[in-house]
Amino acid sequence: MRLTRKLTFALAGAVLLVLGINAAIRINLELPVYETDVRRDGRLLGRAIGGAASLVWERVGPDEALALVADANQRQSNVNIRWVWLDAPPGSDDAPEVAVERLRPDEGAETTTVRWRPPGSPHDALYTYAAVKIPGERRGALELRETLVAEEAFVRRSILQSTLVTAVLVLLCTAIALGLGAVLVGAPVKKLVAQAQRIGAGDLSARLDLPQRDEIGELAREMNAMASRLATARAEIERETDARLAAVEQLRHADRLTTVGKLAAGIAHEVGTPLNVISGFAQLIHDEYPPGTPAHEHAAVVSSQTQRVATIIRELLDFARLRPPRTASEDLTLIARQVAALLQPLAQKRQLTLTVDAPPDGLRCEVDASQLQQVLTNLAINAVQVSPLGATVAIGIDTRQARPPADHGGASGRWACLTVSDAGPGIPPENLPRIFEPFFTTKEPGEGTGLGLSVAYGIVKEHGGWIEVDSQPGSGTRFSVFLPPDPRMEPDA
Ligand SMILES: Nc1ncnc2c1ncn2[C@@H]1O[C@H](COP(=O)(O)OP(=O)(O)O)[C@@H](O)[C@H]1O
Ligand SMILES: [Mg+2]
């Protein structure tokens, strides 16, 4: 509102100035015109009456001439006409009111006009002296006096009129400027300020609706665009922060895997040798005693249990996997079919169908075939284990446009993708972040070691890929293994 007030003051000041100057110019231009008129009237009147008086003086006599002057004075209401002697002593009744020196005494019927304010009078007056030709020595003249009261009245009227017009205009301008200012500037600016405060406070969702097509409207639209851009930028930052946090979490996970891997490898080596000894002696006892004896049966139990421990140790060594993958260009379809064939007996036991859905021409990738087989086996065994009787476990192979996760990095591109889907119970959300942890298992002791997924995770990571899980409790699980595609692979049209 302060801006409006300043503009209003400026406008009113300008109006005041212009109208004031206009009034002054008008008064100054018109006053001389008025005075010139009065002078001319005085001169004409002086010459006319002077001429007549001169004639009468010569033909009839001085008394009649003076009577004519007195009569003319009677007839003129606004002009005072009287006979004066230019040589009369100043101050006497028939001497000119204006000092004779100021009259520039002229010859013949010449006239002189002087502006003078008689002492004691409130107004200036115009004195016109018309010399009158008379016989004899003395020089007579007519004195015509017209008070300039009308002129002053005109000035007063002009000033009053100008003041009135100026006052009305200033009031009008002020009212219009204040009104328009409030509507066009005050209210929208208030909204802009409120919007700026909202944005400052972090609320980027509010939008300003100022339909006006002026600078303020433009500012409002720019402000809206700015809020949108800020919101986008903020969302981007939040997304990046989330990705970074996820990356840190993944790194921590990977770090844990390595540590556990080293520990596991160490323990496996230490336990391996005594386990072989135990297994060997159990075998000896088992062979030494005839079947049916307790020693024979007990030795069989020791033997089978050491077998289990040996399996776990092999898995641990797999997990610790000290050798880097020996990669070659392999057909993923072939690997998938081998795994399916391997798992067929297990699947049959639960009346499951194992399907492999692959592109007809196969899909080649640079992988270590045995390691990738292990990945696929671990995923498929899990799927088989959770599937309800008679369900289907599907292995799929294709290429896909995908963006690697934050910890992996890299731009979106085409990847080879192996999927294993089941119709099992799904993974509860609280377990999802933990399933790749070594030794995390929800299975009964003896049924799961919790190493399958962490082994798969490590292998795929070493191949330059990653694993994604889609799982909703109650609607099955799908594991997707992304691998770098063979560079010779046909680019997708
Ligand atoms: N297809 C699946 N459906 C449901 N849960 C799964 C699936 N695959 C893995 N899981 C969960 O992840 C855990 C870890 O799996 P894994 O590392 O293979 O160990 P394990 O199979 O020995 O338990 C499993 O115990 C299970 O809870
Ligand atoms: Mg498993």
pLDDT of 492 reads: 47
422 Cβ closer than 6 Å to some ligand 1 atom: yes
Same domain, 411 and 430: yes
Domain assignment of residue 285, yes or no: yes
pLDDT in tens, 92-131: 888 888 887 777 655 444 788 888 888 888 888 999 998 8
Name the helix (H) or strand (E) containing 87. Answer: none
| Ligand 1 near 367 CB (within 6 A) | no
243 part of a folded domain: yes
- 335 shares a domain with 282: no
pLDDT given for residue 8 in this prediction? 87
Residue 450 lies inside a defined structural domain of this protein: yes
- H-helix or E-strand containing 330? strand 328-331
Domain co-membership, 422 together with 482: yes
- Residue 270 pLDDT greater than 90, yes or no: no
Considering the domain architecture, whether residues 261 and 403 belong to the same structural domain is answered as no
pLDDT tens digits for 310-362? 887 877 777 776 567 788 999 999 999 999 998 998 999 999 999 999 999 88
Same domain, 352 and 209: no
| 159 in any annotated domain | no
Q: Counting atoms of ligand 1 from 1, which one is nearest the CA of 420?
A: 1
Residue 173, in any domain of the structure: no
26 lines ligand 1 (CB under 6 A): no
Do 448 and 352 belong together in one domain? yes
Bridge partners for 416 per DSSP? 399, 483
Which residue range(s) make up the domain with 19?
2-154
What does the CA dihedral 339, 344, 347, 353 come to, rounded to 10 degrees?
Answer: 90
Distance 244 CA to ligand 2 centre (A): 29
| Residue listed under structure tokens 């004075």 | 73
Are residues 432 and 355 part of one domain? yes
424 and 332 within one domain: yes
Judge if 308 and 361 occupy the same domain.
no
Separation of CA 452 and ligand 2 centre (Å):
4
pTM of this structure: 0.50
pLDDT digits (tens, 9 = 90+) for 411-466: 889 999 999 999 999 999 999 999 998 889 999 877 788 889 988 998 899 899 99
Residue 422 lies in a domain: yes
Rounded to whole angstroms, the Cα distance separating 414 from 425 reads 31
Are 356 and 274 within one domain?
A: no
The pLDDT, as a whole number, for residue 108 is 47
pLDDT of residue 136: 86
pLDDT score, position 49: 93
Q: What is the pLDDT of residue 277?
A: 93
With 70 as the cut, is the pLDDT of residue 42 above it? yes
Which CATH number does the domain housing residue 449 bear?
3.30.565.10
Residue with the smallest CA separation from ligand 1 atom 19 is: 450
310 alpha carbon – ligand 1 mean position (Å): 21
pLDDT computed for residue 234 by the predictor:
93
255 with 347, same domain? no
For the record, the structure tokens of 399 come out as 């290429």
Number of domains the chain contains = 3
The answer as to whether 197 is a domain residue is no
Domain boundary among 88, 121, 154: 154
How much distance in Å is there from the Cα of 427 to the middle of ligand 1? 8
Q: Residue 184 domain-assigned?
A: no
Of 275, 298, 322, the one marking the end of a domain is: 322
pLDDT tens-digit map of 276-303:
999 999 999 999 999 999 999 999 999 9
Last residue of a domain, one of 275, 297, 322: 322
| CATH code of residue 115 | 3.30.450
Is residue 471 within a helix (H) or strand (E), and if so which, with residue range? strand 466-471
Q: How big is the CA angle at 490 (ends 488 and 493), to the nearest 5 degrees? A: 155
262 and 389 together in one domain: no
SS (H, E, C) 180-196: HHHHHHHHHHHHHHHHH
Q: Quick check: CB of 477 below 6 Å from ligand 1?
A: yes
The reply to whether ligand 1 has any atom less than 6 angstroms from the CB of 424 is yes
pLDDT reported for residue 1: 56
